[in-house]
Amino acid sequence: MAVLQSKEAICKRVDEAVKNVWVTDVHTHLYPPSFGDILLWNVDELLTYHYLVAETFRYIDMDYDAFWALSKREQADLIFKTLFIDHSPISESCRGVLTVLQKLGLDPASRDLAAWREYFDQLTVEDYTDKVFELGRIKRVVMTNDPFDDLERPHWEKPQTDARFLAALRIDQLLLHYPENWEKIKGWGYDVDAELSIKAVIEVQRFLRDWAVRMQAQYMAASLPPAFKVPDNTLCARLVEQAVLPVCREMNIPFAMMIGVKKLSNPDLQLAGDSEGKGDIDTVEYLCRTYPHNKFLCTMLARENQHELAVAARKFRNLLVFGCWWFLNNPSLIEEMTRMRIELLGLSVVPQHSDARVLDQLIYKWTHSRRIIAKVLRDKYCDLYDTGWRVTDEEIDRDVDKLFGGAFDDFLALQL
């Protein structure tokens, strides 16, 4: 093993390791090309991503309905003019678009949206998917897969063959909207009822088991409001404890809690209208303590929750903290959170996921995050050097692999 004898050598080796590691992206909203049009890609999808839509309305006085009546290309034209021409594109979302263009070999300085569109028009989605995974050094991604989605559900009638795309069973519609959906579940052949009787709970378990097997789901997941609370006498809390956790335990897959979403704070913005709020760490600790043989993944949307969540993970080995989610996916906050988590949890954390909803975002989100994570690691290894400890090439490679996918794989394999 090659022992690194200077801080300069350490920093160089960290940068190389982080640049070259192949990533497992543990949470995205992507699909394989075989899913057709529900896989979003190209420059117009990048420009009309809901982050940029919300930012655009900071500057324009257009009626919301008038904006939504525009075609996708017309929306993209307006957003590009507003955020990239009339103002400098210094927000993280705007910078991300430019990083994608640059990595693809296009010239952001040209400001030539027509030329960029022409580039994408010449590509097939299959070839472009391969290109994105190569440029981003992405080994595999975990999708978000909703059996209640009428556009997605038919694709699960046949086996999926692209091993780069792993499934996660999304159950928001079950947990948060059971009264609106129980009849749909019943129509699919499960004998459920509005009251969630004992028989209905058993049938919901069967529903979850069937879909987890069909998808080969890596975990079950839900995006949850700040007020999410267990234990409680709500249908949501009962479903979690009586249906979700027993099936997750039986199949040895985690339940992923993404806590802190306030849906449609501004409904006129549609998908861009969600906001965030502080969640309840007591619920996370209750679940980890009460169900020690279940595994829990958790990310939270409020910055105010991050220290409490990291402390909770120190107390419960069945809890794995992951990612800088949504509004936290900004460089200053990613760095702050990554430093704090590594200081508390060492390498037993997943520092980032992309949350990519557009395929192209894999390129910029991992380009930006790699730089930040490498910066934190350089400082931490140099701190070790100052104590007299010496690290090797192999140890840095091992640690980086752990942070960019290994910790997730280990957690999935964990038997409790």
User: Could you tell me the CATH number of the domain that includes residue 93?
Assistant: 1.10.2020.10
Is residue 55 domain-shared with residue 148, that is, in the same domain? no
Classify residue 166: in a domain, yes or no.
yes
Is residue 272 domain-shared with residue 182, that is, in the same domain? yes
Which CATH number goes with the domain that contains 318? 3.20.20.140
Model confidence, pTM: 0.97
SS3 assignment, position 39: coil
pLDDT tens by residue, 332-371: 999 999 999 999 999 999 999 999 999 999 999 999 999 9
Is residue 336 domain-shared with residue 286, that is, in the same domain? yes
Is residue 132 domain-shared with residue 150, that is, in the same domain? no
pLDDT at 224: 98
Is residue 17 domain-shared with residue 52, that is, in the same domain? no
Is residue 25 domain-shared with residue 93, that is, in the same domain? no
pLDDT tens by residue, 5-39: 999 999 999 999 999 999 999 999 999 999 999 99
**Per-residue confidence band for 303, with pLDDT thresholds at 50, 70 and 90:** very high
Q: Residue 70 corresponds to which tokens in the numbers above?
A: 């525009």
pLDDT at 1: 74
Classify residue 1: in a domain, yes or no.
no
Last residue of a domain, one of 80, 101, 136: 136
Classify residue 2: in a domain, yes or no.
no
Is residue 316 domain-shared with residue 176, that is, in the same domain? yes
pLDDT at 159: 86
pLDDT at 335: 98
User: Quick check: 193 pLDDT over 80?
Assistant: yes
pLDDT at 58: 98
Which is it for strands 255-259 and 275-276: parallel, antiparallel or unpaired? unpaired
Classify residue 301: in a domain, yes or no.
yes
Mark residue 252 as left, alpha or beta (left: phi above 0; alpha: psi -120 to 50; beta: remaining): left
Cα gap 189→225, rounded to integer Å: 30
Instruction: Report DSSP state, residue 415.
Output: -
Classify residue 390: in a domain, yes or no.
yes
Is residue 160 domain-shared with residue 129, that is, in the same domain? no
Last residue of a domain, one of 94, 113, 136: 136
Is residue 305 domain-shared with residue 322, that is, in the same domain? yes
Number of domains, the chain: 2
Is residue 124 domain-shared with residue 218, that is, in the same domain? no
Classify residue 322: in a domain, yes or no.
yes
Is residue 19 domain-shared with residue 168, that is, in the same domain? yes
pLDDT at 346: 98
Cα gap 354→139, rounded to integer Å: 13
What is the pLDDT averaged over residues 37-44? 98
User: Quick check: 158 pLDDT over 80?
Assistant: yes
What is the pLDDT averaged over residues 234-255? 98
Domain that holds residue 85: 42-136
User: Quick check: 190 pLDDT over 80?
Assistant: yes
- Counting residues of the chain whose pLDDT is more than 70, the rounded percentage is 100
Classify residue 367: in a domain, yes or no.
yes
pLDDT at 272: 95
Give the CA angle between residues 297, 299, 300 to the nearest 5°.
145
Last residue of a domain, one of 80, 105, 136: 136
SS3 assignment, position 292: coil
Is residue 14 domain-shared with residue 50, that is, in the same domain? no
